[in-house]
Structure 1
Amino acid sequence: MVDKNINKETVVLHADGEWKQKEGTVAPAIYYTATFSANDPTEFAEMAGTPRHGNYYTRYGNPVHDRVISIMAELEGTETALVSSSGMGAIATTLLSLVSAGDHVIAQTRHYMSTTKIMDEMLPRFGVETTVVEQADVKNFEEAIRPNTKLIMIETPVNPTLVVTDIEAVVEFAKKHGILVVADNTFASPINQRPHDFGVDVIVHSATKYLGGHHDITAGVICTSNELAEKIWDTHTSLGSVLSPMDAWLLLRGLRTLPVRMERINENALRLAKFLEQLPQIENVYYPGLESHPQHGIAKKQMKGFGAVIAFAIKGDYAATQRFVSSLKLTTNAVSLGGVESLAVHTASMWEGALNEEQMKTAGIPVNFVRFSVGLEHIEDLKADVLQALKSI
C-alpha cells in the first residue's frame, strides 16, 4: 500500500515496490514457470491451501500477477484485484461467481456485445433471469428490481454508443436493497473514473485496451474486496482463464505509462470530437466530453477525462461508411481501442457477426456508425486523415 496522497503517475511506478526490493532488479523479472517448488511438506501444504498464492501454481497466481494486482488495486481504490487472460474472462468469471440459479440480474440495453450475449443467452441457461433497461434514465434500474435481484451490471461509458450511466445513483438504490453492483470500467480507465469511489463492489477491465496500451496483449482485471476476490478466484481457478507470465509482464509495462498516455489521449480525443462536430459530412458525434452529449453533466460529475473513443455517424449509407473507414491512412481499420495507435471500425460490420438484428437494434447501432479510438498521433495529422477519408463518401 502506497501513501494515499501520492499521485497516479507515482502509483504505477511504485505500488509494487515490495517486489522490487525482493528481486533487487529495476525492471521486473518474468517468472515463466507453471509450478513452484516447496522446501518441505509443511510448506507445500501451506502453499496449496492459500488462496491466490503467488508461488504455488500459475493458474492460482504468479509473482508477476501480484505486481499487476498491487498497482491495479491502488489505481481503482480497492482492497485487491485478480487478473485473467481476457476482459471477457474477467466479466464471465465475475458473473458466474456471484449469481446462482433462481437469481435475477439487471443489465443495460447497451453493453459490449459479448456481455450482451452472456446476459441474453448464457445466464438463462443456468436459471438466472436477466432484465435489460435503458441506462440513460437511472429510474429504470430501480423499477426493474425484484425480491430475487442479486446483481446489477453497468458499463459506462458504453461500448460503442458512449451512453453514460449515473454510477452514484445506481449504487445508492442498489445498496438499499442489498444488491451487488459490477461496473465495466474499460472505456474510462481508472485514470478517468473510479467506480469504487461511488460504492461499486466489483470493477472489471479489458486490460487489452488502455491498461496494456500497445495492442500486444489480451488480458483482464477484476478489482474488488478481499472477501469477493476469494469467491471470484475460486471460480477463476476452475474456469482456467489464466494470464500468462509474459502477458502479465507486458501489462505491467503498459501500466507504467498509463497516466501519461491517458493525458494525451484525453486531449486528442476531445479536440478531434469538437473538430468532427463542425464537419458537414458528419451527421452526429457522440463523446462524453462534448457539451452536446446528452449525459455530459453526469460524465463531468464522475469522470476526470473522457477517454479515447468517439462514436460518430457519417452522412451516408452502409457502403459509404465502409469506404470512409477503409480510406483512413494513419488510422488502422481494426478492433480494440485505447492503444498508442488510432483505430477505427465500421461498427455495424463488426457487431453484426456477433449480434442478431434485434440485439443490434436494442444496442442502438445504425448502419452509418463509426467507432474511432484516438491514439497518440499529432492531432493535426489525425484531422487531416479524417478529411481525406471523407472524400471517399
Structure 2
Amino acid sequence: MLNLNELHPETLAVRAGTMRSEFGEHSDALYLTSSFVVGSAEEAALKFTGQMPGYIYSRFTNPTVAAFEQRLAALECAERAVATASGMSAILALCMAHLKSGDHIVASSGLFGATIQLFNTYLGKFGVTVSYAAQTDLSAWEAAAQTNTKLFFLETPNNPLTEIADIAAIAEIAHRHGALLAVDNCFCSPALQQPLKWGADLVVHSATKFIDGQGRVLGGAVVGSHALIEPIYLFLRTAGPTLSAFNAWVLLKGLETLGLRMKAHCENALKLAQWLETQPQVSRVYYPGLVSHPQYALAQRQQTGAGGVLSFELKGGKAAAWALIDAVQLMSRTANLGDTRTTITHPATTSHGRLTPEARAAAGISDGMVRISVGLEHIDDLIKDLVSGF
C-alpha cells in the first residue's frame, strides 16, 4: 500500500484528502447541506460527544471542508489542519485558543496591518499584550520575550518588504522561553515553504491568496499537530468563523494546480524584479530571489522558490507611486495578491494604511513603495505596462 508520507507534493496536491461517496465521483464532491441525518438517537448522541466519527452540522463538520483540511495538512507535512472563513479568522482562532488574559505575544514589526490591528486593538481589550521585534534581528526577538510570553508570531516573507525570518533560529528562541511559534505562510504557500520542518509549531494561511490563486473566494487555515489544532477546532465549533463547503471546494481545486502556478509566479517575479533593478526611477527592489536581497542566502536555504510578490521604491515618493499605479493599463489596481492576474498597490495607503506614520516607518514602508503581486501574464507584457506607466 502506498504511504502518504512518501508521495511527492505534486501528487498530494491532486490525490490527498479525496473522499468519494457511494456514487464514486472522480472529482471532489461539493456537499451543500447545513446538517446531516443520523440513523438513531444513540448515533446522534455518540457523534455529538465525539465518541463516533461522522458529520453533524456544517459549521464544524462537512466532508468537502474536511477534504480541503486533509489535503492542506498533507502538503504542509502536518498531522492536522482546520479551515476558517478567512486568513484573519485563522489568526483570531489561533489566538483565542492558545492565549488568555495576561499572556504576551512577541511579533514581527513587519506584520500585515490587519494582524497588528487585531493584536493591538482587539486582543489588547482582553489583557493580551504584544511586543514587536525586527523580523531579521534575532537579538531583538530574544530581548522581547517575557516570563508570560506564550506566542511568537511572524510572516515570512513579510508584506510588503519580503524580509525573510530565520524560522529555525526563532523557533529555538520561542521554545526556550516556553512559547509557541506560529508562521504566516501566505506569501510562499506549502508549495515553496513548510515552516513545520524548520521548527514552527503552527502555520497560518490566507487561502484567499495563492491557494485559491484566482481571486474567487475567501478562506483560511491553521496547520499543526493534533494537540495544538484541537483547541482551535473547538473554538471554531463554538464561535463559528468556519469555512463554507463551497469555498472549500473551490480551494481544493486551487490546491491541485498550486505547485505549477507557484513555479510560474516565481519565474515571472524574478524577471520583473531583475528588470526593475535596472530602471532609473527605482531606488530599491525588494524580492528574495535577487542576489541583492539581504536574506538571499537564507531564502535559498529555507524556501524552494522566491515567491510571486515583490516591492520597490520610487525616487519620487508618494506622487510617483500613485502616478505609476494610475498609469498602468494591464495590472489590476487592488490590494489583493496571489492571483493569476497581476495586481499593483500602494501599501502605505492600503494594506498598511491603518498604521501610524511612525509604525510604518519602523516597518520600513515608505510613501514611495509600490507592491506588485506578479501574475501569470507574459512577462514582456507586464514590463511594457510598467514602461508605459513610467
Interval of TM-score (by shorter of Structure 1 and Structure 2) = over 0.9
What is the deviation of 1:211? Answer: 0.4
Unaligned regions of 5+ residues in structure 2, if any?
none
RMSD: 1.6
CA contact (8 A) 1:53 1:61 kept: no
Corresponding residue for 2:216?
216
- Whole-angstrom distance in 1 between the partners of 2:260 and 2:123: 39
- Which of structure 1's runs of 4+ aligned residues deviate more than 3 A? 20-23, 51-54
Corresponding residue for 1:282?
282
What is the deviation of 1:198? Answer: 1.0
Larger CA deviation: 22-31 vs 103-112: 22-31
Q: Superposed, which structure 2 residues align to 1:257-276 within 5 Å?
A: 257-276=257-276
SS at match of 2:182: strand
CA contact (8 A) 2:43 2:52 kept: no
What is the aligned length? 389
CA contact (8 A) 2:183 2:204 kept: yes
SS at match of 1:381: helix
Matched, 1:127 2:127: yes
Corresponding residue for 2:5?
4
Matched, 1:379 2:374: no
CA contact (8 A) 1:209 1:215 kept: yes
What is the deviation of 1:4? Answer: 2.4
Q: Percent identity?
A: 37
SS at match of 1:183: strand
Distance 1:23 1:142, change over 3 A: farther
Distance 1:275 1:388, change over 3 A: same
- Whole-angstrom distance in 2 between the partners of 1:154 and 1:51: 37
Corresponding residue for 1:367?
367
- Whole-angstrom distance in 1 between the partners of 2:348 and 2:114: 15
Q: Superposed, which structure 2 residues align to 1:1-393 within 5 Å?
A: 2-17=3-18, 19-20=19-20, 23-50=23-50, 55-351=55-351, 353-390=353-390
- Whole-angstrom distance in 1 between the partners of 2:37 and 2:21: 22
Amino acid aligned to 1:79: E
What is the deviation of 1:375? Answer: 0.7
CA contact (8 A) 1:53 1:62 kept: no
- Whole-angstrom distance in 2 between the partners of 1:55 and 1:363: 45
CA contact (8 A) 1:54 1:66 kept: no
- Whole-angstrom distance in 1 between the partners of 2:5 and 2:23: 25
SS at match of 1:20: coil
Distance 1:129 1:29, change over 3 A: same
CA contact (8 A) 1:107 1:119 kept: no
TM-score, length basis structure 2: 0.96
What is the deviation of 1:135? Answer: 1.5
Amino acid aligned to 1:3: L
Distance 1:54 1:130, change over 3 A: farther
Q: What per-residue deviation string (whole Å, max 9, x for no partner) do you get for residues 32-63 of structure 1?
A: 11111111011101221229966111111210
Q: What per-residue deviation string (whole Å, max 9, x for no partner) do you get for residues 241-291 of structure 1?
A: 121111111111111100100111111111111111011111110001111
Amino acid aligned to 1:279: Q
CA contact (8 A) 2:86 2:218 kept: yes
TM-score, length basis structure 1: 0.95
- Whole-angstrom distance in 2 between the partners of 1:106 and 1:54: 38
Q: What per-residue deviation string (whole Å, max 9, x for no partner) do you get for residues 96-125 of structure 1?
A: 211111111101111011111122222221
- Whole-angstrom distance in 1 between the partners of 2:283 and 2:52: 50
